[in-house]
Amino acid sequence: MINRLEGKIILVTGGNGLLGKSIITRLKEEGAFCINFEINHETNSNLSNLYCDITDQASVTSAVSKVIDLYGRIDGLVNNAYPRTKDWGAKFENIEYESWKTNVDWQLNSYFCISQIVIKQMMKQKSGVIINMASIYGVVGPDFGVYEGTEMTMPAAYSAIKGGLINLTKYMASYFGEYQIRVNSVSPGGIFDNQPESFVTRYAKKNPMKRMGTPSDIAPSVAFLISDDAKYITGQNLIIDGGWTAI
């Protein structure tokens, strides 16, 4: 493994999740020191695990300040956390308006909040990379046929949030480019997570590569975009979907 991220201090939100674990593992393999911003653990001495509620501005401000006080810089931020309400997944006609607003606030608005706080340090450094984890369903509409026969669906707020993130990414890339700060989004296709067999079969049948994705399909591209190998890439949405959106 090439240590192209050697010495870089990288924040990853939601690092205890399916994608988050894989992303952190890959970044570490490439030499980065990762700080896992999570609500589900305590803060340790070197901040590799750092308690942070990304839906709380005060919590985010405190956590970022701790990183800067200890390490003096932030080289990368991966916005990966996925907070959601208990009724997440309700069908469109059954979504409570308050639930809709809460999910937009917890996901889209929290990404803005932490990005705004972190990017102030990056502006001082005149360097830094932000990766926003989006989705193919921020680019194209869902194929609801793959959910037939299951209790699954694609939440309406998910598409709205992920589409918003992709365009927020482009805005930030344009606005902060002069500071040599790069901002890109990554849009995975469906990731296997022990979904019902009928769903997995339907999804794979439609996908040109005939399978769902895995976290290890996504993490290397996140590492690439953070690395200096991508030093002239900004404002882009990298779709990693086995060809789903190509047809």
Q: How many CB atoms lie within 10 A of CB 233?
A: 14
> What single-letter amino acid sits at 35?
I
- Tokens for 65, please give them: 């300040």
| Residue 158: active-site member | yes
- Tokens for 36, please give them: 């896992």
From the list 51, 111, 137, 158, the catalytic residue is: 158
- Which residues are marked as active site? 158
